[in-house]
Amino acid sequence: MFIKPKIVMLFILLMLLTVNTSLAAEQTAPGSLSSDMFERDAKCASCHGIIHSQWEGGMHSLAEIDPFYKKEAEMASKETDGLTDTYCARCHTPIGVVSGELPPVDGSKLSDIAKRGVQCDFCHTVSDSAGIGNAPFILTPGETKWGPFKDSNSPYHFTEFSDLHTKSEFCGMCHDVSHPTNGLMLEATYTEWKEGPYSKEGVQCQDCHMTPGITKYEANPGKAASMGPKRDHIYTHYAVGANAFITDFLGDDTHRDMAIERLQSAATLVVDAPRSAEAGDTVTVDISITNSGAGHMLPTGLTDMREMWLDVTATDGDGNKFYHYGALDEDKNIDPDTLVYHTVLGDADGNPTSKVWLAESVISDHRISPRETAVEQHTFTIPADANDPVIISAKLQYRSAPQAIIDYLFDEGTYIVPVIIMAQASDSINSPDSDTNSDSDKGVQTEPTTESTPGFEAFGLAGVLVISAMFVHRKRRV
């Protein structure tokens, strides 16, 4: 029989198309698996003890029981008639969602294993991904564990090399969050990384977040399993970012202290004041903040909640403070005239909202891109009776959430959100040993300073300017 070449071509094309569709991966659907298909983390701990102890108490292990998350997820569920239930939980308790144990959103039907958040046998039975954002993972629970080794042998399970696990795209499944109905980007850590310099240099999330290096890859020689071979590098599992709040009371000191250390590796601060000035002069001081250590924006993640800001003081030679910017009041609210580095989301009417499920736009986005510098200009008048030298001190501070929101969600006084000093620097005017410039120092303030200096503030004339390209209005649709 004679077959026309055109028909052969069509046939080949059709074949290719069918192959393609069958390859187009589908994310694991809610309720399509059961929780007893997954293994408890305690089982993995029997051979992977070190890795387990790193994971335990970190934010991945706490992702479902985190009270801040739970309160917000329950409020979202109530206000959307349950529309957000599996959406939120897909990242915070993936096993709970694929097993159909959630809803209800209160977690009352969750098995013990699902309560363990983002855990061993979730991440290591991810066999593929259908993309980036809103958790499009493909799970194949069972005897095979996917991981970074090509030569791994375990007496307990099969092992399979997974390139995905060694790349930011693995993290990007959950660390890019867009609104489920209008597509607005709510968290964009992966995209910030992808668009920034680190992705171009091939530096992955894992290089900073799963090695002792904090801001760069650093080898961690050891064993992946007690009976495994010694290897040049084992990835750590602390999952430490900036959360020194929840880790303080649900995790342990290790994770809290590591979060503080990471925050203190993220930025550099320089204060640049004029060398000399007369009492009564109005002077301008430049304070620059450089995102020197984070592979994404500073801050990143849930940035409508996170707060980063400068606390700046100017004192004269007798220790009288005549300028104070960025102070907290007695309710621990940041002075409203302060520039806060974060995002403000807007609801349908364009009013600011702290409820991500109501968000339809980004009203403002003041953050610092990786390796970029923001410069604030502080202008004040030196009091006529001030003695030399004038010292200008700046502290870069971080808080996981505004205290007012935590007080609103929980009974007031239940949780105090710690203020972390990321960096400190100072400079002086009319100093005898002239060239003192910006000594850096760091620390934690568990009890924020609320002192005010009545009378003296009247001399201050604050003007703040951010020079970097930061007033970005992001509105993306998927």
Residues 333-392 that bind ligand HEC (CB under 6 A): 356-357
Cα–Cα distance for residue pair 424/438, rounded to 1 Å? 8
Binds ligand HEC by CB under 6 A, chosen from 57, 92, 374, 406 = 92
Residues 131-150 that bind ligand HEC (CB under 6 A): 134-135, 145, 147-149
Task: Tell me the HSE value of 113 on the side-chain side, using a 13 A CA sphere.
Answer: 21
> Of the candidates 327, 345, 340, 308, which has an alpha carbon nearest to the alpha carbon of residue 422?
308
Residues 252-291 that bind ligand HEC (CB under 6 A): 259, 262-263, 265-266
- Is residue 440 within 8 A of residue 347, CB to CB? The reply is no
Instruction: Specify the pairing of strand 158-161 against strand 144-147.
Output: parallel
**Stretch of 6-14, 296-304, 340-348, 373-381 contacting ligand HEC, by CB under 6 A:** 296-304
DSSP state of 360: -
Does the protein bind ligand HEC through residue 296 (CB under 6 A)? yes
Binds ligand HEC by CB under 6 A, chosen from 166, 254, 361, 379 = 166
Does the protein bind ligand HEC through residue 159 (CB under 6 A)? yes
Binds ligand HEC by CB under 6 A, chosen from 30, 185, 209, 460 = 209
Residues 231-250 that bind ligand HEC (CB under 6 A): 231, 234-235, 237, 239-243, 246
Residues 100-119 that bind ligand HEC (CB under 6 A): 118-119
Residues 169-208 that bind ligand HEC (CB under 6 A): 170-175, 177, 187, 189-190, 193, 198, 203, 205-208
Strands (DSSP E) found in 292-342: 307-315, 321-325
Q: Which is nearer to ligand HEC, 79 or 331 (CB)?
A: 79
Does the protein bind ligand HEC through residue 63 (CB under 6 A)? yes
Q: Following CA atoms 69, 75, 77, 80 in sequence, which dihedral angle do they give, to the nearest 10 degrees? A: -130
Amino acid present at 295: G
Residue with tokens 């980036």: 132
Handedness of CA 51, 56, 58, 62 (dihedral sign): positive
Binds ligand HEC by CB under 6 A, chosen from 33, 114, 120, 382 = 120
To the nearest whole angstrom, how small is the minimum distance from the Cβ of residue 369 to ligand HEC? 11
Residues 390-419 that bind ligand HEC (CB under 6 A): 400
Binds ligand HEC by CB under 6 A, chosen from 27, 28, 57, 59 = 59
Peptide bond into 104 cis (omega under 30): yes
DSSP state of 116: G
Residues 431-460 that bind ligand HEC (CB under 6 A): none
Cα–Cα distance for residue pair 112/94, rounded to 1 Å? 13
Determine the size of the site formed for ligand HEC (CB under 6 A).
103
Strands (DSSP E) found in 258-412: 267-272, 282-291, 307-315, 321-325, 343-346, 352-353, 361-365, 373-381, 390-399
Binds ligand HEC by CB under 6 A, chosen from 30, 57, 87, 423 = 87
To the nearest whole angstrom, how small is the minimum distance from the Cβ of residue 318 to ligand HEC? 37
Q: Which is nearer to ligand HEC, 226 or 434 (CB)?
A: 226
To the nearest whole angstrom, how small is the minimum distance from the Cβ of residue 197 to ligand HEC? 9
- Annotate 134-143 with b (16+ C-beta within 10 A) or e (fewer): bbbbbbebee
Peptide bond into 5 cis (omega under 30): no
| Ramachandran bin of 269, using left for φ above 0, alpha for ψ from -120 to 50, beta for the remaining angles | beta
To the nearest whole angstrom, how small is the minimum distance from the Cβ of residue 389 to ligand HEC? 33
Binds ligand HEC by CB under 6 A, chosen from 15, 227, 348, 465 = 227
Give me the 25-44 binding string for ligand HEC, x by CB under 6 A, dash otherwise.
--------------x-x-xx
Q: Which is nearer to ligand HEC, 223 or 321 (CB)?
A: 223
**Stretch of 160-168, 269-277, 329-337, 375-383 contacting ligand HEC, by CB under 6 A:** 160-168
**Stretch of 68-76, 316-324, 339-347, 449-457 contacting ligand HEC, by CB under 6 A:** 68-76
Binds ligand HEC by CB under 6 A, chosen from 28, 30, 33, 47 = 47
The DSSP element (H or E) to which 146 belongs, if any, is strand 144-147
Q: Which is nearer to ligand HEC, 155 or 454 (CB)?
A: 155
* Strand partners for 437: 427
**Stretch of 3-11, 293-301, 444-452, 455-463 contacting ligand HEC, by CB under 6 A:** 293-301
Binds ligand HEC by CB under 6 A, chosen from 57, 99, 113, 165 = 165
The three-point CA angle 129-135-137 to 5° equals 30
CA distances from 72 to 76, 79, 99, 111, 134 (A): 6, 11, 22, 21, 17
What are the φ and ψ backbone dihedral angles of 372, each rounded to 5 degrees? -90, 160
Task: Count the residues in the chain.
Answer: 478
